Every structure is written in C-alpha cells, then in structure tokens.
C-alpha cells in the first residue's frame, strides 16, 4: 500500500490524470501500466509507477469496475455468526485470487436478511453469486439462478439453475455411525438438524449405516437443530421418557447433527449423570474449534473447507464463462476420532 500521499491535491485522492500529467504520458498509458498490459516500455513503466507513488495513487475500484467489460467480482453471502462460514470466506479469498477474481462480501445477520444481502451483491454487478448455506426457499434460489450465475455451498438444492457444492453429508453421517457400530454400539440414536441444510442427507446416512448393519429396527431419529439448545432439549426429552422394562434400553451412542448440537447433548448427558464416553458416546459434525478443545474433545466429521471453496469458485467461473451446465459436486468428509466416543458400555 502507498504509505503517504505527497500531494493530497485539494483533499481529493489522486486520479489517473494526475499521474499521467506528472509522468508526462497519456492517461491510457497509465492504465496500461497499472493493468500490467503490454504496450509500454520498461522505462516508462518505472516513470509512471514512480509518479503514482509520489502522488499516493491507487486505481479507483469503482471506476475500474464500471468501465471494465467485466466486473471480475464474485459476490459472497455469508452468515456473520457462523464460524464455519468464516473459514469458507478465507478459503474463498485465496481460491478467487488464484483465478483472477475479487470477492465482494455481504453478511447475513439477524437484522439483515438474505434478500438484502443478495440485492447489495447484485447492485455491484457481481458476475456470480456464491451463497454459503442459504436458507431461502428453493424457488427463490431457482429464480435467482436464472438471473445470475449462482453457486450454492453447503446446501442441497435440486435445480438446473445453480451449481451446488457441498460435503457428502450422507457419507459423513454414515462414517460417524459406522464408527460407533465398529465400537460395538447398537443402540444408536440420531439427533437431527431439524430444518437446517444437510439434515435430510445426514439422516439418510445414519439410516443407511444402521440398516446395513441389520439394525433397521433400532433406527431412531430425534428432532434437533443446529444449536446447543436443540441438542440439549432433544437429549433431555429422551432421558425423560419413562424407562420401559420391556422396551429398548437407553441408547449408548448419539450421532448429532453438528458440533454445537453435540455439545448440547454432552451437557444434557453430563447433567443426567452420564460419563462420556464411558456411559455414552457422542459424535458431532464440522470439526469446529470447540470440538478440538481438550475438555470437549469431540469425535466429529470434518468438512474439507479448502476443497469446498476451490470448487465453489471453479463452478462460479465455469458458469460465468461457459453455458450453464449445472453440476452438483460432493466433497468427501473425513471422520476425526477423538475422546467422546468409546466402546459400548457393558450392561451393568
């Protein structure tokens, strides 16, 4: 960055004309130099850059975007409250840069809904939109996809109008369940994500693993959600059920929708006097920072953030440059085994 403009020239920042005048060349030449285009001698380039430095000049992005045939912008919608989105944003920056695009960020927050976020991105004439875990209805996304090249990340969507990039959640849930099965568990319940993106897939994965193990009758899905509260409530409800001597015994393992949900389950279990993993094994999803904390030490399923970001940008670019050939790309998840899972407890 320029460190200090020598001439604050009437308060306004220096323009290309200022640089051109000082370097005694045309404005076009300055443009050529700053875009690293052929058409200027080495000596002139140096002269222009020097003049720019002296004036503290940096090209005006607004003008640049306006006059360029293409804006070179990728609009990213993310939820400010979601650490996972934060990781994605970072990875998107590097992925976009590698392909010569810039990112325009627009946050979603309780007080700022997706419509507003998208409208603002569209107003900047982004060439494509990358939405992280959007909650808008399918129809809305479909319509949006007709308007602008669209990539939906971490959410399933069946449409020709958008690219979908997500982790293979079904596989992830399957891996989590199989891990528990391998430890000898049979009474495994799932606390699902309610209406959160990915819920249906993770339910399917859990169910598939159970059925494959011949435990179809043991399948049990509790309604949960993406927050600690959801996990806690679900487990409290479970624990409150009257113990039926003839009925099935209490579950020995829980597959939670995500790490936050798993934390809620852990809390409820602890309050109910259960030891983890001695009395109960718990698996989360996301491998968030909290999962790695020593006293949480949660077995979980890791999504490949860098891969998701790279794919998202690649698909966005493909949609921008080529005809809309919608694809749905799945990234493989990876089980991370930690201390919250252990062998099935012996019946007392």
Question: Contact residues for DNA (CB under 7 A)?
Answer: 12, 15-17, 25-29, 31-32, 34-35, 38-44, 57, 59-60, 63-64, 66-70
Cα-to-chain-centroid distance, residue 5: 39
> Is residue 72 within the footprint of a copy of itself (CB under 8 A)?
no
Cis amide linkage into residue 277, ω under 30° from 0: yes
Span interacting with a copy of itself, options 83-91, 168-176, 191-199, 210-218, rule CB under 8 A: 83-91
Q: Which segments of 161-257 does DSSP mark as H helices, in order? A: 169-182, 199-212, 228-240
Can you tell me which of 65, 239, 326, 344 binds a copy of itself, judged by CB under 8 A? 65
> Is residue 232 within the footprint of a copy of itself (CB under 8 A)?
yes
> Is residue 83 within the footprint of a copy of itself (CB under 8 A)?
yes
The binder of 235, among DNA, a copy of itself, none, by C-beta within 5 to 8 A per type, is none
Helix (H) or strand (E) holding 283: strand 281-283
Question: Residue-wise over 8-47: b if at least 16 C-beta within 10 A, else e?
Answer: eeeeeebbbebbbebbebeeebbbbbbeeeeebeeebbeb
Cα 246 from Cα 149, distance rounded (Å): 57
Provide the 3-class DSSP secondary structure of residue 191. Answer: strand
Instruction: Considering the complex, state which of residue 158 and residue 289 has its C-beta at the smaller distance from a copy of itself.
Output: 289
Can you tell me which of 21, 27, 44, 71 binds a copy of itself, judged by CB under 8 A? 71
Cβ–Cβ < 8 Å for 155, 85: no
Instruction: Considering the complex, state which of residue 46 and residue 97 has its C-beta at the smaller distance from a copy of itself.
Output: 97
Provide the 3-class DSSP secondary structure of residue 203. Answer: helix
Binding residues for a copy of itself restricted to 144-163, rule: CB under 8 A? 146-147
- Least CB distance from residue 205 to a copy of itself, whole Å? 27
- Least CB distance from residue 187 to a copy of itself, whole Å? 24
Give the phi and the psi of residue 104 in degrees, each rounded to 5. -115, 125
- Residue in 232, 224, 179, 214 with CA at minimum distance from that of residue 344: 179
Span interacting with a copy of itself, options 150-158, 207-215, 266-274, 323-331, rule CB under 8 A: 266-274
- Least CB distance from residue 114 to a copy of itself, whole Å? 10
The binder of 15, among a copy of itself, DNA, none, by C-beta within 5 to 8 A per type, is DNA
Which residue has tokens 């959007």? 134
The binder of 232, among a copy of itself, DNA, none, by C-beta within 5 to 8 A per type, is a copy of itself
Tokens in use for 290?
A: 């909290």
Cα 26 from Cα 337, distance rounded (Å): 63
- Least CB distance from residue 181 to a copy of itself, whole Å? 28
Cα 160 from Cα 155, distance rounded (Å): 15
Which residues bind to a copy of itself, rule: CB under 8 A? 1, 3-5, 13, 56, 58-66, 71, 80-81, 83, 86-87, 89-90, 93-94, 102, 105-107, 109-112, 115, 118-120, 122-125, 143, 146-147, 228, 232, 263, 266-267, 270-271, 290, 293-295
């Amino acid at each position: 960055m320029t460190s200090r403009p020598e001439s604050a020239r009437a308060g306004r920042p220096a323009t290309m004309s200022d640089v051109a005048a000082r370097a005694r060349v045309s404005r076009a030449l300055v443009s050529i130099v700053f875009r690293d285009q052929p058409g200027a001698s080495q000596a002139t380039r140096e002269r222009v850059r020097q003049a720019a430095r002296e004036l503290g000049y940096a090209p005006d992005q607004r003008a640049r975007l306006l006059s360029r045939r293409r804006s070179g912008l990728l609009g990213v919608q993310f939820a400010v409250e979601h650490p996972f989105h934060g990781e994605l944003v970072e990875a998107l920056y590097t992925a976009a840069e590698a392909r010569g695009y810039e990112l325009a960020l627009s946050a979603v927050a309780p007080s700022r809904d997706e419509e507003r976020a998208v409208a603002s991105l569209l107003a900047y004439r982004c060439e494509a939109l990358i939405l992280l875990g959007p909650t808008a209805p399918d129809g809305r996304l479909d319509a949006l996809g007709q308007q602008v090249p669209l990539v939906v990340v971490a959410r399933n969507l069946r449409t020709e109008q958008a690219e979908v990039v997500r982790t293979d959640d079904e596989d992830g849930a399957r891996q989590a369940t199989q891990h528990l099965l391998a430890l000898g568990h049979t009474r495994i319940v799932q606390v699902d994500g309610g209406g959160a993106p990915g819920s249906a897939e993770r339910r399917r994965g859990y169910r598939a693993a159970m059925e494959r193990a011949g435990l179809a009758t043991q399948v049990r899905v509790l309604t949960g959600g993406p927050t600690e509260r959801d996990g806690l409530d679900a487990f409290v409800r479970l624990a409150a059920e009257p113990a039926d001597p003839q009925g099935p015994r209490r579950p020995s393992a829980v597959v939670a929708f995500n790490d936050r949900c798993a934390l809620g389950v852990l809390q409820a279990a602890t309050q109910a006097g259960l030891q983890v993993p001695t009395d109960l094994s718990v698996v989360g999803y996301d491998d968030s920072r909290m999962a790695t904390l020593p006293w949480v030490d949660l077995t979980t399923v890791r999504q490949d953030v860098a891969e998701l970001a790279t794919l998202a940008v690649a698909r966005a670019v493909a949609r921008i440059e080529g005809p809309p050939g919608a694809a749905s790309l799945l990234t493989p998840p990876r089980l991370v085994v930690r201390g919250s899972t252990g062998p099935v407890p012996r019946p007392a």
